[in-house]
Chain A
Amino acid sequence: MDIVVCIKQVPDTTEVKIDPKTNTLVRQGVPSIVNPFDKNAIEAGLRLKEKYGGKVTVVSMGPPQANDALKECLAMGADEAVLVSDRAFGGADTLATSYTLASTIRTLGHFDVILCGKQAIDGDTAQVGPEMAEHLGITQLTYVARIDIQGDKVQVYREHEEGYEVVEAKLPVLMSVVKSINVPRYPTVKGIMKAVHKDKIRVLSAKDMEVDMDRLGLKGSATQVRQIFTPPQRGQGILIRQDSARKSVDELMAKLTDAKIV
């Protein structure tokens, strides 16, 4: 089974702080990580490989530094890694990014399954997966929490507002996975050695692929960021600090009743 996993290197947004004086983002000291949902996608890919054999290829679009993220994926057990990197990709929105990644996957050749995380924690759009599936003309299964493959058929649990939706499709498919699907493994020492010592990361630029240059990067993007700003704060409320839980609860109930909330 040929498995492609798309990953993104992101700043760890849980470590990002807002400078209260300047009201701007403090990025200093914030580590770059493999997008957490993408790690679930790699884990899902590795488990499919363990069950059905084949190869796991990890693909990432980003600046040269994204190599570090790909190395981590190799250390987890991925067989090959491809970095798609070119100044021409800069400023890409989801439409241009998905076009670039789909073109990359086409360049790589045959695949049965494409996996990605449900969304990246920096952009939070959850769009690149479905848009890649559209560019490639294949079936998409989003918010997947469980995968069963039998022959050329895949059955998945999709997260849904009211529960899990069980859906069946034929390969090839693109699946975006949620966190509850698995617990990603840690890189092994052997894996790390392999990732560090062997130059397994193939780098592709725009000229290595058959692409329409007008559909890449900023030029190929349909959306444009007008401005960014920090979210407004909610007003400060009432803090209740009595010396016993009993008194605190009584005070809370009295205040809620006064304000006609209950």
Chain B
Amino acid sequence: MAIQFTDACIGCGACEAQCPFGAIEIKDGKARNNAACTACGACVDICPVGAILRVEEEKKVEINKEDYKNVWVYMEIAGGKLRNVGLELLGQGRKLADGLGEKLAAVLIGENAEALAKEAFAYGADIAYVVEGPEYQHYTTDAYTAACEDLIKTYKPSVMLFGATNDGRDLGPRIACRIGTGLTADCTGLGIDEATGFIAWTRPTFGGNIMATILCPDHRPQMGTVRPNVFKKPERVEGRTGELIKVPGKIRAAEIRTKFLQIIDACTGSCNLEEAQIVVSGGRGLGSQENLKLVENLAEAMGGMVGASRAIVDAGWIDALHQVGQTGKTVAPKIYVACGISGAIQHLAGMTSSDVIIAINKDPEAPIFKVADYGVVGDVLEVLPLLTEEFRKLRQERN
């Protein structure tokens, strides 16, 4: 699809103001789009004189889409266990597979991946493709891409989902590019487009200011990475089984161009925020790095993990691995407490799927209060110690 500007244009500039990508210029009284145009179509609907048209472009694609069947979920393995995001995707993948009348398959790559296949079945997979061996002990782009490439070319899935973890976002684009297909990054919504039957991938873009729904019409598989915590983990069904397909890995150790050396811990407590039930985050309203202690204390009293706004990460108060937001982590705990965080849209993009949001801020006009279920207008430095004390009491009562 391309956007065409016709001579009916009256040069009113409505489209220029509307374009999210700044891709429209008015020249000699007529609008035209430049190379920044993504053909999103926002201008088509706004044009008062119907001078902007969507036109189909002829494409040369040589694949038979009918050959591609089944919905696949890449199951990331960390510390010998399946990451939650993979299980969450089995739940959503199940819905897509049922909607398309296809099967759901889990892709397991790792040193001892076969042992985890029964978990994938318990969470809804009909098939588990397993590639295992010592070459897959640690994630490497080369080995894992080669394994996925081999599986995709042999078994031809119609859809493939990855968790949008750091490794998922390393692997996804490498495979998509090798296969020559489209990948939609960091999705927060997945559905089936009614008109076409294609997967409708919805994702925040533009710093979380707008949402875009993306299709992959002519290439297969349709691929996407999906943020952790967007979908709920499905019910585990004990004893549910499926078809196990073991595929020998073809890569030789010498072909793996990166070497894993070690993991260095840099987190305050833990920073696996994506899987936390409670997250207590601090922002610039704390005033100084020393006061971050108040946030850590509350997190400890509530049994949660410490998160951070971009501002305090940039200020060097805490490691970047704690950052929540569009360019940091996406969290969805049961309780999210924002302490002295104003709530820039980039921060909100990383935490609004939390079940309950509590915000403490001095400024009653702070945008964080627009998303908070419970907002306390007050000085974080006064409120936090009192709140910590309350949670400590609560904990003692329960023990």
> Which of B87-95, B237-245, B365-373 is the contact stretch?
B365-373
Whether the pair A63, B265 counts as a contact (CB closer than 8 A) is no
Question: What 0/1 pattern do residues 113 to 142 of B give for CB contact below 8 A with A?
Answer: 000000000000000000000000000011
Whether the pair B170, A130 counts as a contact (CB closer than 8 A) is yes
A94 contacts partner chain B, Cβ-Cβ < 8 Å: yes
Bound complex: CA of A123 vs CA of B267, how far in Å? 28
Q: Given A163-B266, A228-B42: A13 and B377 within 8 A (CB)?
A: no
Residue of B213, B257, B352, B387 touching A225 (CB-CB under 8 A): B213
Residue of A90, A142, A242 touching B37 (CB-CB under 8 A): A90
Which chain B residue shows the least CB distance to A221? B182
Whether the pair A24, B18 counts as a contact (CB closer than 8 A) is yes
B230 contacts partner chain A, Cβ-Cβ < 8 Å: no
B35 contacts partner chain A, Cβ-Cβ < 8 Å: yes
Whether the pair B173, A240 counts as a contact (CB closer than 8 A) is no
- If over half of A's interface residues share one DSSP class (helix, strand or loop), that class is named, otherwise mixed; here it is mixed
Whether the pair A226, B200 counts as a contact (CB closer than 8 A) is yes
Beta-carbon contacts under 8 Å, B209-234 to A: 209-219
User: Is the interface on chain A under 10, 10 to 19, 20 to 34, or 35 or more residues?
Assistant: 35 or more
Q: Given A234-B370, A238-B373: A224 and B215 within 8 A (CB)?
A: yes
Residue of B18, B35, B207, B264 touching A16 (CB-CB under 8 A): B207
Whether the pair A63, B78 counts as a contact (CB closer than 8 A) is no
Which chain A residue shows the least CB distance to B33? A90
Bound complex: CA of A24 vs CA of B211, how far in Å? 11
Name the A residues within 8 Å of B314 (CB-CB).
179
Whether the pair A222, B181 counts as a contact (CB closer than 8 A) is yes
B155 contacts partner chain A, Cβ-Cβ < 8 Å: no
B289 contacts partner chain A, Cβ-Cβ < 8 Å: no
Which chain B residue shows the least CB distance to A24? B18
Bound complex: CA of A222 vs CA of B2, how far in Å? 13
B51 contacts partner chain A, Cβ-Cβ < 8 Å: no
Bound complex: CA of A180 vs CA of B23, how far in Å? 31
Residue of A91, A249, A261 touching B2 (CB-CB under 8 A): A91
Bound complex: CA of A223 vs CA of B224, how far in Å? 11
Q: Given A14-B344, A27-B17: A140 and B218 within 8 A (CB)?
A: no
A255 contacts partner chain B, Cβ-Cβ < 8 Å: yes
Question: What 0/1 pattern do residues 80 to 120 of A give for CB contact below 8 A with B?
Answer: 00000111011101110010000000000000000000110
Bound complex: CA of A15 vs CA of B252, how far in Å? 49
B313 contacts partner chain A, Cβ-Cβ < 8 Å: yes
CB distance from A42 to the nearest CB of B (A): 18
Beta-carbon contacts under 8 Å, B340-399 to A: 344-346, 352, 356-358, 364, 369-379, 382-383, 386-387, 390-391, 394
Question: What 0/1 pattern do residues 151 to 195 of B give for CB contact below 8 A with A?
Answer: 000000000000001110110111011101111111000000100
Bound complex: CA of A93 vs CA of B335, how far in Å? 37
Whether the pair B260, A245 counts as a contact (CB closer than 8 A) is no
Whether the pair B206, A13 counts as a contact (CB closer than 8 A) is yes
CB distance from A29 to the nearest CB of B (A): 11
B274 contacts partner chain A, Cβ-Cβ < 8 Å: yes
Bound complex: CA of A225 vs CA of B166, how far in Å? 24
Whether the pair A167, B260 counts as a contact (CB closer than 8 A) is yes
Whether the pair A89, B35 counts as a contact (CB closer than 8 A) is yes
Which chain A residue shows the least CB distance to B145? A134
Bound complex: CA of A116 vs CA of B183, how far in Å? 19
B326 contacts partner chain A, Cβ-Cβ < 8 Å: yes
Whether the pair A90, B166 counts as a contact (CB closer than 8 A) is no
Whether the pair B212, A18 counts as a contact (CB closer than 8 A) is no
Name the B residues within 8 Å of A214 (CB-CB).
60
Q: Given A25-B210, A169-B258: A145 and B38 within 8 A (CB)?
A: no
Bound complex: CA of A11 vs CA of B261, how far in Å? 39
Name the B residues within 8 Å of A160 (CB-CB).
166-167, 263
Whether the pair B274, A161 counts as a contact (CB closer than 8 A) is yes
A202 contacts partner chain B, Cβ-Cβ < 8 Å: no
Residue of B37, B206, B386 touching A249 (CB-CB under 8 A): B386
Name the B residues within 8 Å of A201 (CB-CB).
none
Beta-carbon contacts under 8 Å, B38-69 to A: 38-42, 57, 59-60
A159 contacts partner chain B, Cβ-Cβ < 8 Å: yes
Query: Which B residues have a C-beta under 8 Å from some C-beta of A?
Result: 1-2, 17-23, 33-42, 57, 59-60, 78-79, 141-142, 165-167, 169-170, 172-174, 176-178, 180-186, 193, 200, 204-219, 257-267, 271-272, 274, 313-314, 319-321, 326-327, 335, 344-346, 352, 356-358, 364, 369-379, 382-383, 386-387, 390-391, 394
- Pick 13 A–B contacts, CB within 8 A, sort by A: A16-B207, A25-B209, A91-B39, A124-B204, A130-B173, A155-B261, A159-B166, A160-B263, A225-B40, A226-B212, A231-B211, A239-B375, A249-B383
